[in-house]
Structure formats: C-alpha cells, structure tokens
Structure 1
C-alpha cells in the first residue's frame, strides 16, 4: 500500500508544528486520527519518521530527508487539483475544431467570438478543411470535434445534425438562368461552368447528380477557394454550383443565385464526434453554443430548404 494524501498531510503538519494538537487544529482532524495516520505511514515505509518524547515530536534523520519530498508531493497534488478545477470551470484549456469552410467561415465566427467573451482563457484552434480531412482529424484525436457533412460508413464516428442547406447555382448578373425562379440541374449543361475543387464534398455531390441524370458540365476552370469561384462567376467566366451556406463567404457584387431543383437535394451538416469519447468541459460548452446558434438561425437561410 502506498502512502495516502491524508497521511502525507498529517506528516507535514506534525513535522512543521512538532505537536499533535496543533496539527489536529490545522487539519481539522482529531489527535487520535493524526496519530494513527503517522503510525500507518511509518509502518508502510518501514521505519520511524519521528522521535517521540513527552513534550514534542521531532523528526528522525529519515523524517528530515522525507519532509521536502512530502511537501513536493502535496504541492503537485494541489497543483493538479487546481488545474482540474480550472479546466472544469473553463478558466483553462484548449479546443481544436475541424470544420468545412462553409461552416468555418459561416456559423463559427460569431459563435467563437461569443465563446471568447465568456471564456477568454480557453485557447481555440480551427482547421478549415475538406470533409475527408475533418473526419480524419476527429478520428485521429487531433480535433475535439468536427463540423461537416454526415460521413458514410464511419462506424467509429457519431454525427449530430445541426443545420441543413441546399445547392444553388450562382450566375453573373444578367445571365439567362436568373430569369427562372428555380433552375433544373439539366439547364446547367448549356452554360460554361466554374468548378470547385474535385475533392470537396460539394463537388462530389455535383458529379453524382450529373451522373444520375446522364449529363455533363462544360467545365471551363476549377478553383480551390469559394471566394475565387465567386469572383470568376462575377467576371462572366461561367456559372457555378455552391451550397447555400457558402453564399455568405463570397462577395455578392456582380452575381446572383437561384435554387437548384429536379432533383432537390437538401444536405445535412452537423457535429462529428469520436464514438464513446466524451468531450472536455470546454469543448462541450462550445458545442452547446454551436447548437444554440444553429437553432437561433433556423428561421433564416441556415435551415431554409427549398420545396421540391
């Protein structure tokens, strides 16, 4: 059996006061309890730590050698408890989030600003990456949680939907597609197209839809950044398809958008967790704020799904 914290506390209190009565008052424990703790400690270490006489308790040489060790152990214990309390009270900690660019630049900034006002000492790190990378960062424990589309066949991850969006076609002002209230996917085949990166979840969905309807796009150019796609469209180089949540990330100058239908494909986005891996107190607080922000924006474009 190893010495307990209570035994170490009793040893230090008696060593510093040379008195059972003073140690008893200091620790708010009875003198018999202090005496038993000392004897049990001495029994465990295999020798006397105090020389006892009628007037006081004096450290033996072994006791003097052990005193700084006991003080350090108690100090480490207190520091560990203080750190733990600070973590649970969200006065200390670090959170890493992996998120799709549509959420990293859309929903997250306002939530993070609010979180920083409430918990200024919590450090935040954000990775704005593609869906596969979001899942990988969460899976490899390099992110506390992720914000992404629902992964397929990921038995080690849990997904909690919080928002939904839909596909829109963005066009330069004056484009003939803007004369329509809603644009069928087949209509895209008749116009030059600016594509987002092929590895993005949005582009993969576009390619799936075109394959399902037996069509193809007149691909003129590809870009990796949403803002770049928006500027290319505004410059008249072609049209493009983006998730509705992405509209807040591109400049509206020189372009407009319409909802895509036939098919109409709402997309769920949410929080990715490692299965059976509880979040820290700080990460849980940020998660809760994200959920609340999503609910509060429900009447707006975040939750607005087009009618089929």
Structure 2
C-alpha cells in the first residue's frame, strides 16, 4: 500500500517535534490516530522510522534518510494543489484563440481588454488565420476557441452563431456607384475589382455569389489582406466587395460603402469549440466575455 499524504505529514511532525503529544496537537489529531498513521507508514516502507524508548523518540538511520524525501513530497503535494486551485480560480493559465483577421482586428481587441481587466494573470495567444486554419487549430486542440464562419462537415468541432454579417460595396470617394442607396453585385463587378485571395473565406463566399449569378469579375489585383484591399480602393485602383465588419477594421479615409444586394448574402460568424472536450476554467471565462461583447457586435446597417 502506498503511503498517504496524511501519513507523511504525521511522520514529519513527529520527527520535527520529537513528541507524539506535541505532533498530535499541531496536526489536530488524537494520539491514537497519529500512532496508527505512523504504524501504517512504517508498514508501507517496510521498516521502523523511529526508535521509541523511555528517553524519547529518535529517528532511525532510515528515518533520517526518509525525512527530506517526505518533506519534498509534501511540498510537491501542496504546490500541486495550489497550482490547480489557481487554474480553477483563473489566477493563472493560458488561453489560445484562432480567429479570422476580420474578427481578430475588429472584435477581439475589446474582448481581450475586458478579459485582461478581470483575469490579468492569464496568458493569451491569438492566431489570426484563414477559416480552414481556424477549424484545424480547434479540431487539433491547438486552440481553445475559434472565431470564424460556420465550418462545413466538421464533426469534431461545434459552432455557435454570434452575428450575421453581410457584404458591402467599398468604393473611393466620388465613385458613380455611391450615388445609389444600394449596389447590385452585377453593378459592382462592372468595374475593376480589388479581390482577396482565393484561399480566404470571404473570397470563397464571393465566388459562390458570382457562380449563382453566372458572372465573372474583372480582377484588377488580388491581395491577401483586407487592409491592403481598402488602401488600394482608396487610391482609386478599383472597387471591392467586403464583409461589413471588415470595413470597420480598415481606415475609412478615402472610402465609402453601400449595401450589396440582389442577392443580399448573409455571412454567419461565430464561435468554434472542440465538440468532445471540456474547456478549461480560463477558456470558459473567455467564452463568457465573448458572449457579452457579441451583443454589441453589429454589422454596418443596410440602409
């Protein structure tokens, strides 16, 4: 039978105080209970740890050898309990997030600022990546929480909707399309388009719309970052179709927008979590903060 932490503490107390009476008082144990704990410990290790004589109690050579080991085991036990307690109380820990750049730049900063105010000792890592990478990081449990579009056919992850975004036509100041209250997709793609990479979920959604319309866009330039697309539009190099939430994250200087319609395409964004594993206390607290801020996550309103 393996020694218990109670038995180890009893052994150390008797060794330090040299008395069963004083050790029992310090440990708030009766003397019979303390004696039983020491006897069972000695049975576990296979020999006597104390010499008991009329002159008092002394450690045997084996007891002197075992004393620093017992102290270390007790210290490791107390430290382990303290560590797990801090994790449950959100006094330490780590949360890893994976998010579309749209949400990483346009939504998470306020969330993380709020979270840090409440839990300043929890480390936070953020991966701003493409949608398929968000899914992969969460599925492989390399990220605790993902923020992305709804995954397709991923049984290992769970999706919780946060908001329905929509596409807007982004144009430079003075562009003819800005004379309208709304812009049809076919009207937008009549002009040279600054397009996002085909690997992005935004571009894939746009391609689906164009396939539905049996139309093609005149791609003036293809870029990887939404911010780059915005700057090129502002410089008069073309127009762009962007999710309205992403328009909030880029500089609006030199830019204006109009709702894209016919069709109006909703783009559901939400939380992705592992489907079959429990979240840590730190990640659960993050989800609570995210859901609170999601109530204020409003796309640009369609006029």
Query: Which TM-score band applies after superposition, normalised by the shorter structure?
Result: over 0.9
Corresponding position: 1:32 with 2:32: yes
Corresponding position: 1:60 with 2:68: no
For the aligned residues, what is the CA RMSD?
1.4
Query: Partners of 2:27 and 2:161 in 1: how far apart?
Result: 52
Query: Partners of 1:29 and 1:160 in 2: how far apart?
Result: 53
Query: Partners of 2:9 and 2:56 in 1: how far apart?
Result: 18
For structure 2, the 5+ residue unaligned runs are: none
Alignment of 1:236-255 (within 5 A): 236-255=236-255
* Greater mean alpha carbon deviation, residues 22-31 or residues 201-210: 22-31
* Greater mean alpha carbon deviation, residues 264-273 or residues 180-189: 180-189
Residue 98 of structure 1 corresponds to 98
Deviation at 1:193, TM superposition (A): 0.6
Query: Partners of 1:196 and 1:252 in 2: how far apart?
Result: 18
Query: Partners of 1:139 and 1:158 in 2: how far apart?
Result: 9
Instruction: Decide whether the 8 Å contact of 2:166 with 2:299 is kept in 1.
Output: no
Aligned length: 303
Corresponding position: 1:143 with 2:137: no
Q: Say which SS state the counterpart of residue 299 (structure 2) adopts.
A: coil
Q: Which runs of 4+ in 1 moved over 6 A?
A: none
* Greater mean alpha carbon deviation, residues 143-152 or residues 53-62: 53-62
Corresponding position: 1:130 with 2:130: yes
Superposed CA deviations along residues 80-132 of structure 1, whole A, max 9, x for unmatched, are 11111111221111111111111100111011112112222111111111111
Q: Say which SS state the counterpart of residue 190 (structure 1) adopts.
A: coil
Query: Partners of 1:269 and 1:8 in 2: how far apart?
Result: 54
Superposed CA deviations along residues 209-256 of structure 1, whole A, max 9, x for unmatched, are 101110000011011111110011111111111111101211111111
Corresponding position: 1:225 with 2:218: no
Alignment of 1:252-291 (within 5 A): 252-291=252-291
Deviation at 1:55, TM superposition (A): 4.8
TM-score by length of 2: 0.96
Deviation at 1:18, TM superposition (A): 1.5
Q: Say which SS state the counterpart of residue 187 (structure 1) adopts.
A: helix
Deviation at 1:176, TM superposition (A): 1.7
Deviation at 1:274, TM superposition (A): 1.0
Q: Say which SS state the counterpart of residue 164 (structure 2) adopts.
A: strand
Alignment of 1:80-91 (within 5 A): 80-91=80-91
Query: Partners of 2:227 and 2:141 in 1: how far apart?
Result: 30
Residue 301 of structure 1 corresponds to 299
Deviation at 1:30, TM superposition (A): 1.3
Residue 72 of structure 2 corresponds to 72
Residue 172 of structure 1 corresponds to 172
Query: Partners of 2:28 and 2:164 in 1: how far apart?
Result: 58
Residue 23 of structure 1 corresponds to 23
TM-score by length of 1: 0.95
Query: Partners of 1:234 and 1:289 in 2: how far apart?
Result: 35
Residue 41 of structure 1 corresponds to 41
Query: Partners of 1:93 and 1:278 in 2: how far apart?
Result: 15
Query: Partners of 2:129 and 2:294 in 1: how far apart?
Result: 20
Query: Partners of 2:11 and 2:164 in 1: how far apart?
Result: 62
Query: Partners of 1:53 and 1:269 in 2: how far apart?
Result: 76
